[in-house]
C-alpha cells in the first residue's frame, strides 16, 4: 500500500464526551474500523491553546462560546493513523451539527444539539468531538497538540489484513 495513503489525523474528545463517560465507546468506533491510536493524552485546555486551535474562528461572534466550552473541562487529544484516516474519521464522526448527523455516526448516536439552539442559548454546540477536516489541517493540528516523540509507531493485527 502506498505510504501516501496512510494518514494521521487529530481527534479531540471534547469536555461533553468526557463528562458523559463516552471515552471508551467513542474510541472503540475508531478501533473497530481498523484505525490505530498512535498518540493520546488528557489535556485541560487553556485560553492560549484554544486560540491556537480555533485560530480561524477568533474574530467570529461564536468564538467566545467555543473558548468557554473547550476550556470548561479536560478533553482527550488523540492521533489516529490509517488508510485515508482523515476522510474515514470524518465519516465515523458525522456532521458537525449533531441534529444533521446520520444514525450510526458518533454524533448521530450520542448527540442532538442544533446550531439554532446553541445560538439562542448563547453556548457552544455540544457535539462531543473534533476531527480534522483535511489532510493539511490534520498535519497542522497534530503538530499543535503533540510533540513528535509523543507519537508512536507499532504494528496492529489490522495491518496484517490491510497491507
Q: Which three cell numbers stand for residue 147?
A: 510533540
Q: CB neighbours (10 Å) of residue 45?
A: 22
Any idea which residues carry the catalytic annotation? 130
Q: Which three cell numbers stand for residue 159?
A: 495491518
Can you spell out the DSSP letters for 42-71?
EE---HHHHHHHTGGGTTSTTHHHHHHHHT
Amino acid at each position: 500500500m502506498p505510504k501516501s495513503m496512510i494518514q494521521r489525523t487529530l481527534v479531540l474528545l471534547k469536555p461533553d464526551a468526557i463528562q458523559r463517560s463516552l471515552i471508551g465507546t467513542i474510541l472503540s468506533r475508531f478501533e473497530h474500523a481498523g484505525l490505530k491510536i498512535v498518540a493520546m493524552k488528557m489535556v485541560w485546555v487553556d485560553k492560549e491553546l484554544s486560540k491556537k486551535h480555533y485560530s480561524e474562528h477568533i474574530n467570529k461572534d461564536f468564538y467566545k462560546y467555543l473558548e468557554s466550552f473547550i476550556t470548561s473541562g479536560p478533553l482527550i487529544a488523540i492521533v489516529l493513523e490509517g488508510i485515508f484516516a482523515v476522510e474515514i474519521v470524518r465519516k465515523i464522526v458525522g456532521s458537525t451539527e449533531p441534529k444533521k448527523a446520520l444514525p450510526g455516526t458518533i454524533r448521530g448516536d450520542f448527540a442532538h444539539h442544533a446550531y439554532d439552539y446553541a445560538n439562542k442559548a448563547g453556548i457552544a454546540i455540544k457535539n462531543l468531538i473534533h476531527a480534522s477536516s483535511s489532510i493539511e489541517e490534520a498535519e497542522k493540528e497534530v503538530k499543535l497538540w503533540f510533540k513528535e516523540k509523543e507519537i508512536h509507531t507499532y504494528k496492529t493485527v489490522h495491518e496484517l489484513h490491510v497491507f
